[in-house]
Structure 1
Amino acid sequence: MSAPLDLDQLQTFIMIADTGSFTRAADEVHRTQSAVSMQMRRLEERIGKPLFEKEGRLNRLTEEGEKLLGYARRLIHLNRETLSAFDDARLEGTIRIGTPDDYADRFLPEIMARFTRSNPKVEITVICEPTPGLAEHIKRGNLDLALVTHSEERGQSEVVRREPLLWVSSANHATQEQEVLPMAFGRPTCVWRRAACDVLDRMGREYKVQFTSFSATVVAAAVLSGLAVSVLPECALRPGMRVLGEADGFGALPDCKIGIMRGHTMRPDLVDALVRHISESLDNISVPAIEEGGSFDFAALAFARAKRLKPSNMLPGGW
């Protein structure tokens, strides 16, 4: 039987990917840099594949390294979950989390399942509102934590995921070809709406805001019915949508940054635990599975993805 993987080596491997540095990872795991390097050599020997490759003065994760990273995160999380199941001092209490409805639909099932398995005695209260409202709840002490669309203007949030913001239309209608482009947006305070309007203005494209709603479901319905074009992050794509790119005459949009805002809470232990589960869950969530054949323009989506550079790939020595 093959020997099992060493969890300490996997933890160090994850820390290198997260910090982008062998040196910083060594500090985090309280080992010398030479010990960290030795761990990675042994892990490569165990896997039988190179996990890093040199690119100038940088070390880059290989394709095999990227593949291992996903498995490593899941193994470390399962280890924590197993230990929590036998911990008599498991967390208890209530935690209040807020998130826009599109993030709730895409991310909460994974987050809540993971957190509840590890912390079955914690009650979770969820509020779904647009990001500006959630920021107000955080300021007033009504929420312990909020998963929001990151904006420098609204205050500090910790960015935990970055996705391309995409122009979307119906795959079954030619809405984007109308002379005056009908648009469906969130409310005027929505950062995606402002970004889209800025791009349309620079393009000199005539448009009108046909639908305004704080509900992502309503905006998606307007798109799918062929009544409007909108902008959505990759995680919010649905079957029947078409991604519009430069070939369709649409300029590039800034990335969507998903962040965490922390409130002033009497239970920082609960908040820290949930933040850890959110980060681990978002690392394991990929683009929605949508079949090819007209659902959306995969070439445009691939172009949008290619514009992003994932920080962990290059490692030195809404609403």
Structure 2
Amino acid sequence: MNALLDLDQLRTFIAIAETGSFTRAASQVNKTQSAVSMQMRRLEERIGQTIFVRDGRQSRVTDAGVRLLDYARRMLSLNAETIAAFSADAMSGTVRLGLPDDYAPRLLPTVLASFATTHPNIEIEMTCEQSSCIHRRVEDGRLDIGIVTHGDCTKGNIGRIIRSEPLLWVSSAHHSVHCQSTIPLALGTPNCSWRHSATESLVRSGKQYRVAYVSSSAAAHTGAVMAGLAVSVLPESALTSDMRVLGDREGFPELPHCDIALLRSKTAQDRIHNALAAHIVNALDNVSGSGSLAAE
């Protein structure tokens, strides 16, 4: 094989591998889905291997694709590092970012990894706490940027809402805990807006429940769900193939949307803060700038 690998194709390949979807990757790399498909066909021709297979609605990376993924990330990182090394205008410094662990599994592998590729000299200090704690830390300047669940911060219209998606009832696809007469729930702490939405909707519908597991950790909720021990609530983008979405047919009432907001400290006005904030908004925004900008 003597053909050169195309960095743009590798960038698209990484986006598909990380999102599990040609459609989501196309949006992330600003290409049409047909253009993305064509790029992957050409990449497979170059390396002489199949790198994706269909797995239900997801696109799964093959063993050859897994091998290529490591090389692709290193090549893009080295390319960005090389450009930065010869750029007098390269940005460097540290940005303090806070977010709940509800979002960390979705942001760290995709959004922040791609930011590190394009801005290798900017370091990100990560803090994972509840949204209300992130809000306080941004307000008093201990964090530069925060990503929070909008309803969990009680001071009215804060920050900029950058994403809105359905909040859904979920249980394990392999268990029937949702069929119990009194539903065991895995929910957040009492000040969690998702918990309020869940319990209030069950009360209105007359469905019996008990809060069986309480944690500020989304990983704990997911663990209880996957073990068949409880029903929980999650935003649509957090669903996995092993989860069952519960609705009217199972007797579960509709839940409100989940709004994700970006907060920014008044002291975080440097170019590096602008770069990370813009990158997060471009990657997550599905509301076309309709959110409040009060705290930006």
Per the normalisation by structure 2, the TM-score is 0.67
Give the C-alpha shift of residue 118 in structure 1: 2.1
SS of match in other structure, 2:30: helix
Cα distance in structure 1, aligned partners of 2:173 and 2:244: 5
Q: Does 1:281 align with 2:283?
A: yes
Deviations 1:192-241 (A, max 9, x none): 10011111011011111000001111111111111111100112213321
Question: Where do residues 52-63 of structure 1 align in structure 2 (5 Å cutoff)?
Answer: none
Give 3-state SS (helix, strand or coil) of 2:253's partner. coil
Whose relative contact order is higher, 1 or 2, with alpha carbons under 8 Å and at least 6 apart?
1
Tell me the residue number matched to 1:185: 187
| Matched letter for residue 129 of structure 1 | E
For 2:205 and 2:175, locate their aligned partners in 1 and report how far apart those are by CA, in whole Å: 22
**SS of match in other structure, 2:168:** strand
Count residues with an aligned counterpart. 217
Residue matched to 2:111: 111
Q: 1:73 to 1:277 in 2, by over 3 A?
A: farther
Confirm whether residue 72 of structure 1 aligns to residue 30 of structure 2.
yes
Partner of residue 233 from structure 2, selected from 207, 231, 234 = 231
Query: Which residue pairs with 1:15 in the alignment?
Result: none
- Tell me the SS of whatever aligns to 1:91: coil
Aligned AA for 2:222?
Answer: A
Is 1:92–2:50 an aligned residue pair? Answer: no
Mapped partners of 1:73, 1:273: distance in 2: 22
Q: Distance in 1 between matches of 2:30 and 2:178?
A: 43
Report sequence identity in percent: 41
1:135–1:154 CA contact under 8 A, matched in 2? no
Report how far residue 103 of structure 1 moved. 0.6
Q: Give the ranges of 4+ consecutive aligned residues of structure 1 lying more than 3 Å apart after TM superposition.
A: 66-75, 81-87
Partner SS for 1:138 = helix
Show structure 2 runs of 5+ residues with no match. 1-23, 36-75, 289-296
**Matches of 2:27 and 2:118, distance apart in 1:** 22
| Superposition CA RMSD, Å | 2.7
C-alpha contact 1:84 1:119 (8 A) present in aligned 2: no
CA contact (8 A) 1:150 1:257 kept: yes
CA distance in 2, matches of 1:261, 1:84: 30
Is the contact between residue 162 and residue 287 of structure 2 (CA under 8 Å) also seen in structure 1? Answer: no
SS at match of 2:102: helix
Given that 2:170 and 2:245 are in contact with CA atoms closer than 8 Å, whether structure 1 keeps it comes out as yes
Alignment of 1:206-225 (within 5 A): 206-225=208-227
Equivalent residue, structure 2, for 1:302: none
- Superposition deviation, residue 83 in structure 1: 12
Task: Describe how 1:235-246 pairs up with structure 2 within 5 A.
Answer: 235-246=237-248
Partner of 2:170: 168
Helix, strand or coil at the partner of 1:162: strand
Relative to structure 1, the CA distance from residue 251 to residue 281 in structure 2 (aligned partners, 3 Å threshold; closer, same or farther) is: same
Q: Which runs of 5+ in 1 are unaligned?
A: 1-65, 284-309, 313-319
Aligned CA distance change for structure 1 residues 250 and 140 (closer, same or farther; 3 Å): same
Q: Report the residue type matching 2:108 in the other structure.
A: L
Distance 1:117 1:71 in 2: 14
Deviations 1:276-313 (A, max 9, x none): 11122225xxxxxxxxxxxxxxxxxxxxxxxxxx766x
Deviation per CA, 1:8-60: give whole Å up to 9, x if none. Answer: xxxxxxxxxxxxxxxxxxxxxxxxxxxxxxxxxxxxxxxxxxxxxxxxxxxxx
1:148 alignment partner AA: V
Q: 2:93, 2:148 → 1: CA distance? A: 23
Determine helix, strand or coil for the equivalent of 1:126.
strand
Where do residues 30-41 of structure 1 align in structure 2 (5 Å cutoff)?
A: none
Give per-residue Cα distances to partners, 1:65-114, cap 9 Å, x unaligned.
Answer: x9986653699xx9xx7997463111111100011112111122222222
Instruction: Name the TM-score, length of structure 1 as normaliser.
Output: 0.62
Distance 1:69 1:206 in 2: 41
Quote how far apart the aligned CAs of 1:260 are: 0.3
* CA distance in structure 1 between the aligned counterparts of 2:238 and 2:28, rounded to whole angstroms: 22
How many Å separate the matches in 2 of 1:102 and 1:116? 21
Structure 2 contact 99–128 (Cα < 8 Å) conserved: yes
- Is the Cα–Cα contact under 8 Å of residues 132 and 154 in structure 1 kept in the other structure? no
* Pick aligned residue for 2:261 from 241, 259, 262: 259
Residue by residue, what CA displacement relative to the aligned partner does 1:97-148 show, whole Å, maximum 9, x if unpaired? 0111121111222222222222211111000111111111112211000111
Matches within 5 A, 1:134-145: 134-145=134-145
State the match for 1:202 in structure 2. Answer: 204
Contact between 1:91 and 1:122, CA under 8 Å: does it hold in 2?
yes
The one-letter amino acid of 2:258's match is: C
Aligned in 2, Cα 1:219/1:154: closer, same or farther, shift over 3 Å?
Answer: farther
